[in-house]
């Protein structure tokens, strides 16, 4: 008898639950849509506002008539673009997106908008309930003007040879434009060997120095080089060149070498005309100096981001990986924490547990990471930051596009040059080039 009563009670409970679900379906307001608004209907971006909050897009939670928790996706595209190739951001339960100047400017340029020209955009927000129920806002217009503060310093010329990392096959160390017309500069880390200058990573147009007199001749003799860090100046007008020992570096108790050499080498960033490095630092102090010598060094006496010749040591309060920017032309510097990408997987030397082989930033491109000459075996790989799975990327479609927590990437044994490109944060890509 007790079993029968229990069964009756259970059936009654199930009946009530079924009715409740039917009631929810009945009262769901299927006409509900998010309502989008902007902090400004027209945003004009400049170099001065790149670190400011320049645009906030807000949407109200629709009144569905029932207590549900939708997830939201923000879409931005050129006017009439149909949101097929525009910007997409999964916002979760957030009800607004705040853009800083740099992020918004990069997004606008990636959409193909022209700097200093007013452009019309379409914006919409989609609320999603479950796997199939989607509720889209009306498409709202937004006016935006991007800016371009970068100077294209790239040239067709490069340094090649046994003294360079790429040896005689390249890739060549690039020459960049300077403020003087047809006067190029390259920053090169060389070993004992020889070099020449050539165009387009090819031998069709190359120059050497027949008399070792600083003047170049077409198809001339190889130029002898000693190991060291150099600034190489090549004057196309006079067909002359100059090689001088040159490097900016980071030294101090916060660096692996302490207050002695070798300093952390600062790479030239031609896009911003500054010097940068990814530096693993510990708690301590740093300074900047030239050619690993104290004859020219810089600190920060006011602890305000301004360089002072012979100034006070710069404190590093926490250990970690930092992006260090040294801007001697404007007397500024930055020390910013950064997540460092690595490669992990059964195809790598340390397997799935790491530590990962680390990428370095390619300062000749925006938001690009490179790793050259990494040896892999048959297996699989993924990319992640800081030897941790909190942020990792794979490739769900094996199409060269990265997805967060995506599928493992199959590779064959060999030596590879690998590039990760996050210029478009919504659609990052990668390339595996077998040497």
- What is the per-residue pLDDT across 210-262, written as a single tens digit (0 to 9) for each? 999 999 999 999 999 999 999 999 999 999 999 999 999 999 999 999 999 99
Residue pair 202/255 in contact by the 8 Å Cβ criterion: no
Q: pLDDT, tens digit, for every residue of 393-416? A: 999 999 999 999 999 999 999 999
pLDDT exceeds 60 at position 390 = yes
The predicted model scores a pTM of: 0.65
Q: What was the pLDDT predicted at 217?
A: 98
- Average pLDDT (98-103) is 92
CB of 349 within 8 A of CB of 311? no
Distances in Å between the Cα of 229 and the Cα atoms of 118, 190, 291 are 45, 6, 8
**Closest Cα partner for 183 from 230, 231, 235?**
235
pLDDT at 24: 44
Intra-chain end-to-end CA distance of the chain, in Å: 79
For residue 15, the model assigns a pLDDT of: 40
What CA dihedral angle connects 296, 299, 301 and 304, to 10 degrees?
Answer: 130
Mean pLDDT estimate for the chain: 90
Instruction: Tell me what pLDDT residue 66 has.
Output: 75
Is a pLDDT exceeding 50 seen at residue 120? yes
3-state secondary structure the chain: CHHHHHHHHHHHHHHHHHHHHHHHHHHCCCCCCCEEEECCCEEECCHHHCCCEEEEEEEECCCCCCCCCCEEEEEEEECCCCCCCCEEEEEECCCEEEEEHHHHHHHHHHCCCCCCCCEEEEEEEEEEECCCEEEECCCEEEEEECCCCCCCCEEEEEEECCCCCCHHHCCCEEEEECCCCCEEEEEEEECCEEEEEEECCCCCCEEECCCCCCECEECCCCEEECCEEEEEEEECCCCEEEEEECCEEEECCCCCCCCCCCCEECEEECCCCEEEEEEEECCEEEEEEECCEEEEEEECCCCCCECEECCCCEEECCCEEEEEEEECCCCEEEEEECCCEEEECCCCCCHHHCCCEECEECCCCCCEEEEEEEEECCEEEEEEECCEEEEEEECCCCCCECEECCCCEEECCEEEEEEEECCCCCCCEEEEEEC
Question: Nearest CA to 172 among 201, 195, 199?
Answer: 201
Say whether pLDDT at 11 is over 60: no
Residues 19-38 have pLDDT tens digits of: 444 444 446 677 778 899 99
Would you say residue 321 has pLDDT above 80? Answer: yes
Note the pLDDT of residue 147: 87
- pLDDT > 50? residue 330: yes
Complete domains list, the chain, with CATH: 35-145 (2.60.40.1930), 154-245 (2.60.40.3620), 248-337 (2.60.40.3620), 341-434 (2.60.40.3620)
pLDDT tens, position by position, 250-308: 999 999 999 999 999 999 999 888 999 999 999 999 999 999 999 999 999 999 999 99
> What pLDDT sits at residue 3?
42
Check residue 17 and give its pLDDT.
37
pLDDT at position 7: 39
> Do 336 and 376 touch, CB atoms closer than 8 A?
no
Average pLDDT over residues 76-104: 91
């Amino acid at each position: 008898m007790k079993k029968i009563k229990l069964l009756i009670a259970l059936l009654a409970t199930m009946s009530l639950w079924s009715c409740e679900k039917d009631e929810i379906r009945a009262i769901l307001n299927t006409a509900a849509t998010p309502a989008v608004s902007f902090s400004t209907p027209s945003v004009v971006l400049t170099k001065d506002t790149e670190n400011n909050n320049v645009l906030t897009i807000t949407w109200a939670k629709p009144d569905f008539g029932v207590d549900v928790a939708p997830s939201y996706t923000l879409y931005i595209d050129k006017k009439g673009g149909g949101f097929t190739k525009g910007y997409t951001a999964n916002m979760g339960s957030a009800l607004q997106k705040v853009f800083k100047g740099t992020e918004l400017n990069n997004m606008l340029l990636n959409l193909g908008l022209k700097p200093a020209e007013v452009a019309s955009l379409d914006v919409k927000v989609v609320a999603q309930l479950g796997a199939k129920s989607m509720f889209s806002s009306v498409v709202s217009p937004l006016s935006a003007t991007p800016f371009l503060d970068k100077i294209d310093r790239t040239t067709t010329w490069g340094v090649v040879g046994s003294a360079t990392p790429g040896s005689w096959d390249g890739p060549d160390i690039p020459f960049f434009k300077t403020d003087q017309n047809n006067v190029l500069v390259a920053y090169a880390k060389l070993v004992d060997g020889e070099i020449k200058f050539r165009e387009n990573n090819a031998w069709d147009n190359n120059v050497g120095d027949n008399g070792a007199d600083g003047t170049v001749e077409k198809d001339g003799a190889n130029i002898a080089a000693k190991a060291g860090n150099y600034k190489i100046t090549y004057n196309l007008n006079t067909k002359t060149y100059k090689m001088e020992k040159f490097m900016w570096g980071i030294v101090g108790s916060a660096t692996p070498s302490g207050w002695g050499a070798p300093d952390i080498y600062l790479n030239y960033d031609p896009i911003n005309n500054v010097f940068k490095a990814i530096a693993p630092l510990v708690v301590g102090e740093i300074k900047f100096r030239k050619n690993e010598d104290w004859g020219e060094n810089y600190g920060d006496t006011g602890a305000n981001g301004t360089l002072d010749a012979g100034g006070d040591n710069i404190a590093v309060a926490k250990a970690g990986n930092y992006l260090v920017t040294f801007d001697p032309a404007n007397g500024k510097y930055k020390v910013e924490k950064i997540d460092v990408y690595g490669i992990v997987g059964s195809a790598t030397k340390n397997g799935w547990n790491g530590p990962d082989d680390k990428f370095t930033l390619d300062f000749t491109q925006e938001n690009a990471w490179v790793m050259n000459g990494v040896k892999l075996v048959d297996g699989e790989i993924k990319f992640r930051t800081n030897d941790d799975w909190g942020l990792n990327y794979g490739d769900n479609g094996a199409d060269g596009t990265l997805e967060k927590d995506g599928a493992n990437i199959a590779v064959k044994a060999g030596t590879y040059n690998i590039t990760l490109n996050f210029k478009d944060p919504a659609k990052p890509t990668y390339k595996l080039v077998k040497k």
